[in-house]
């Protein structure tokens, strides 16, 4: 079970003060655009991932004119009752407490409250560039096993240092450059191989779940194929780095590795990014999120808290019903610009207007 019982916000986005008690089951926030519905979901999502699902930096989450923002929540997660407090301060590291105990590392919050987020920009998962699909895999890896946050951070740090060395070399392989590059090749090889293997195993686990979800949402249709098979992974990244060393020195950047990989998505044997219709791409994107939700539930042993940010506006009634039928959660929180989103059963319906939230 993952349920948010009580949420407090102070100086977060457009909210000066907000105090909300939330119920189990399905919670709907409705109201006109620009009133702050998505901001509430963004705050909740931050508690689960220590990141904005919109990709915003922490400074952007602090209300204009304020120096800091606070997100505070009472949560039931599994068999634990948690009080989670996050303080975002301009120009300083986040301050995070769980049950009044300060966490020394922000990443230690990840996994305490499993969360799945569906957003209006999810179409870009299929339609957009490969970086979005890499982020989808890596974000899910971190939620599945929070230790993967360290692995992702290690790869990013090593790449930054290695690229700085390649740029400073100016195309010349001096003895100093050669010995230092060997060190970074070893570090990147080990971290990159670990991340690549983790991604490949995750894709293998997701593939049948994506197919099942797509068939249910589309009412059948073509089979979906997910492929993650970077050329360097079989031989090992360190060996492949040695092969491209001359080109990397000339260009001053790392040319192969996890930062350049692609998760290929095919529908009926054709690349979905270029050959699928927009409707098919949207259904594929939803299928990826559904698959991730079910994989996360299977690994952590509880249904993640489910956040659906304006996902019904471009879905017909049949696909909306199929989506809700595929998603099992103890608490589902929905935003909608419509006064009557396609959510059935007992609902806590809250109306958002002028930075205030009231029961309908």
The DSSP result for 260-328, as a single string, is G---EEEETTEEHHHHS-HHHHHHHHHHHHHHHHHHHHHHHSSPPEEEEES-STTS-HHHHHHHHHH--
Instruction: Give CA–CA dist 131/127, Å, rounded.
Output: 11
Alpha helix (H) residue ranges in 219-261: 237-243, 245-251
**In the predicted model, is pLDDT for residue 354 greater than 80?**
yes
Sheet of 68-77, strands arranged across: 15-21, 2-12, 68-77, 80-89, 95-98, 101-102
Q: What is the 3-state secondary structure (H, E, C) of 194-210?
A: HHHHHHHHHHHHHHHHH
Instruction: Answer whether 1's CB lies under 8 Å from 330's CB.
Output: yes
The DSSP result for 176-187, as a single string, is HHHHHHHHHHHH
Q: Of the candidates 79, 114, 118, 75, which has an alpha carbon nearest to the alpha carbon of residue 97?
A: 75
Q: How confident is the model at residue 339 (pLDDT cuts 50, 70, 90)?
A: low
Instruction: Give CA–CA dist 115/53, Å, rounded.
Output: 11
Instruction: Give CA–CA dist 31/65, Å, rounded.
Output: 25
Instruction: Give CA–CA dist 25/87, Å, rounded.
Output: 28
pLDDT at 336: 87
Taking each helix axis as running N to C, give the angle between helix 278-300 and helix 130-144, from 0 to 180 degrees, rounded to the nearest 10.
20
Size of the chain, expressed as the number of residues it contains? 360
pLDDT at 38: 94
What predicted TM-score, i.e. pTM, was given to this entire model? 0.92
Domains and CATH numbers, the chain: 1-114+302-360 (3.40.50.300), 124-299 (1.20.1050.90)
By CB atoms closer than 10 A (0-12, 13-18, 19+), residue 82 is: middle
Render pLDDT for 68-90 as a digit per residue (tens, 0 to 9). 999 999 999 988 999 999 999 99
Render pLDDT for 143-201 as a digit per residue (tens, 0 to 9). 999 889 999 999 999 999 999 999 999 999 999 999 999 999 999 999 999 999 999 99
pLDDT at 360: 82
pLDDT at 106: 82
Cβ neighbors of 232 (< 8 A, separation 6 or more) are: 192, 196, 240, 241, 256, 257
Render pLDDT for 273-316 as a digit per residue (tens, 0 to 9). 999 999 999 999 999 999 999 999 999 998 999 999 988 887 88
Cβ neighbors of 41 (< 8 A, separation 6 or more) are: 29, 53, 117, 307, 309, 333, 335
């Amino acid at each position: 079970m993952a349920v948010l019982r009580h949420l407090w916000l102070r100086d977060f986005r457009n909210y000066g003060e907000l105090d909300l008690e939330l119920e189990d089951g399905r919670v709907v926030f409705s109201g006109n655009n620009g009133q702050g519905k998505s901001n509430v979901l963004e705050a909740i999502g931050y508690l689960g991932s220590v990141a904005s699902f919109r990709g915003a930096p922490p400074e952007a989450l602090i209300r204009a004119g304020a120096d800091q923002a606070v997100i505070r929540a009472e949560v039931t997660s599994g068999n634990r009752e948690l009080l989670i407090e996050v303080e975002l301060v301009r120009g300083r590291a986040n301050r995070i407490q769980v049950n009044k105990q300060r966490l020394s590392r922000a990443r230690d919050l990840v996994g305490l409250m499993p969360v799945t987020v569906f957003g209006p920009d999810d179409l870009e998962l299929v339609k957009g560039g490969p970086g979005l699909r890499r982020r989808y895999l890596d974000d899910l890896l971190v939620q599945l096993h929070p230790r993967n946050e360290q692995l992702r951070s290690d790869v990013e740090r090593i790449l930054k240092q290695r690229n700085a060395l390649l740029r400073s070399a100016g195309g010349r392989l001096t003895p100093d450059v050669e010995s230092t590059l060997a060190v970074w090749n070893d570090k990147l090889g080990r971290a990159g191989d670990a991340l690549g293997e983790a991604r490949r195993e995750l894709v293998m686990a997701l593939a049948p779940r994506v197919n099942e979800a797509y068939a249910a949402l589309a009412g059948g249709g073509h089979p979906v194929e997910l492929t993650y098979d970077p050329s360097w992974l079989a031989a090992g990244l360190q060996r492949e780095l040695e092969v491209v060393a001359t080109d990397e020195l000339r260009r001053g950047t790392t040319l192969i590795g996890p930062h350049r990989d692609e998760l290929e998505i095919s529908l009926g044997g054709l690349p979905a990014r270029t050959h699928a219709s927009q409707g098919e791409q949207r259904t594929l994107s939803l299928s990826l999120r559904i698959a991730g939700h079910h994989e996360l539930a299977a690994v952590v042993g509880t249904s993640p808290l489910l956040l659906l940010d304006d996902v019904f506006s471009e879905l017909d009634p049949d696909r909306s019903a199929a989506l809700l039928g595929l998603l099992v959660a103890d608490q589902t929180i929905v935003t909608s610009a419509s006064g009557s989103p396609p959510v059935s059963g007992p609902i806590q319906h809250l109306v958002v207007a002028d930075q205030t939230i009231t029961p309908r």
